[in-house]
A and B are shown apart, each in its own frame.
Chain A
Amino acid sequence: MKYRFRDKAITGLAVVVPEHERLFADDMKLFNAPENRSRKLAMVMGYNAHRVVEKGVCASDLAEAGFRHLFDCGRIRPEEIDALIYVTLSPDHFMPPTSCILHGKLGLRRDCFCLDIAQGCCGFVVGLLQAFQLLEQDGVRKAVLVNADVLSRKVSPKDRNSYPLIGDAATIAIVENREGTGEIHADVRFDGTRAMALKVPAGGFRMPSSPETAVMKADSEGNERAPDNLVMDGTAVFNFVMADVPPMLADLVADAGVGFADIDKYYFHQPNRFMLQKLAEKLDVPYDKMPNNVVEHYGNSSGATIPSAMALNDADLLCSKVGKVCFSGFGVGLTYGGIVMNCGNFDFCETITYKGEN
């Protein structure tokens, strides 16, 4: 469905990445694949380094560290936060919502609205839409959108299709009403018939985790994973992105009254470099307008990749100028969406390293 808003803006952005870095050169040693093929895979997909949490670290730990930093620096005060939207596929518990845990730890007001959203690759787009909707209320002046995931904990290190690309991160975006920002156009679509293309089969109520769901099995290529692990149908996801995302974006851009050439920057979800380059070619957008380097620096951190792409590539630019940007996320659900809006003049845009202490 299409959505339209006015005069809303991202006013600050923080990205939290864990200090612990894994290198593809080391990952490779665990794969049952010829070394030359693994090297080619790394070259094509852009695998190099990825940041993963140490054992036991939760997504909300990264988010909390980010908030503590922002409070300490005076970027935002806890009492100013009117809404906390927490988007994750790796919640601390089934019960309670992780947003409530953070609400308690951070000392937020009782009338601050807390909401968990279970979304992945499209989680920044979906979360931003939710923030915009809340900002239509007079009482909501600052909505904070958190995208946090530690899916490395769900990926088998012996799975060459998923492990080298996975990364953990939390991002915090401050979203506010701001006069004169102009129109915002958005579109989010779903195809639940293909919901199981990206999944963690066990661990929920449908298939509770048990000793059996932890047993690793090798697939036809020698990738070893258990039902407790994340698994994706890479070819189906690639075909979905190539077939369904460009027409949705063409529609969105036309609705916004602009052409692809009028967009200054495309901040897209970062599955891997290959898919982003193919997408850029299909939209006829130059590579330098669509950053594709998050996977090689940090790994794919699900809903946190779009803010990561912004902070990694354009932190100074986003604090000094305003440009027309197109956000797009696509994946888990299957969910795909985009937003075209003016973006920039942030109060801050920074990257923080999580070292394990709060």
Chain B
Amino acid sequence: MDKNAFLSELANILDEDGIDETANLRDFPSWDSLAVLSVVALADSKFGFTLELADIKGIATVADLWKHFEKNRTK
């Protein structure tokens, strides 16, 4: 999954039409436990790594999240 596909998947998870990379995750009205779990599941199924809640706590923006995904991906 490339960056564009990741962003479109994230938009889908957050019920948004598009995603601004500089946006802070916590500013999205739909950033709730379901969104977090969906992102964790995405990391597991499409990127092959375990995303812990503690990791997410240290991530601010959409761009930071993508960086974390890129750094930890095994597939």
Contacts and interface: CB of A to CB of B under 8 A. Distances in A.
Interface residues of B, number: 17
Contact of B30 (A37, A235, A274, A282): A37
Given A243-B50, A281-B45, A282-B45, A235 B40 contact: yes
Given A41-B34, A44-B34, A278-B45, A238 B29 contact: no
B61 to A, nearest CB: 19
Interface string A237-278: 011001100000000000000000000000000000010001
Given A238-B40, A239-B44, A278-B41, A40 B53 contact: no
B33 A221 contact: yes
Contacts of A282: 44-45
A281 B30 CA distance: 26
Interface in B10-29: 15, 29
Contact of A235 (B15, B32, B45, B52): B52
B37 A235 contact: yes
Q: How large is the interface on A (under 10, 10 to 19, 20 to 34, 35 or more residues)?
A: 20 to 34
Nearest to A40: B34
B53 A37 contact: no
B45 A239 contact: no
A182 interface: no
Contacts of B45: 278, 281-282
Contacts of B63: none
A74 interface: no
Interface string A16-52: 0000000000000000011011001100100000000
B9 to A, nearest CB: 14
B62 interface: no
Nearest to B38: A44
Contacts of B36: 235
Contact of A36 (B15, B33, B41): B15
Given A239-B50, A242-B41, A242-B50, 20 more contacts: A34-B29, A37-B30, A37-B32, A37-B34, A161-B33, A233-B53, A235-B33, A235-B37, A235-B40, A235-B52, A235-B53, A238-B40, A239-B44, A243-B44, A274-B41, A278-B41, A278-B44, A278-B45, A281-B45, A282-B45
* 4 A-B pairs closest in CB distance: A235-B53, A242-B44, A41-B34, A239-B50
Interface of B: 15, 29-30, 32-34, 36-38, 40-41, 44-45, 50-53
Interface of A: 33-34, 36-37, 40-41, 44, 160-161, 221, 233-236, 238-239, 242-243, 274, 278, 281-282
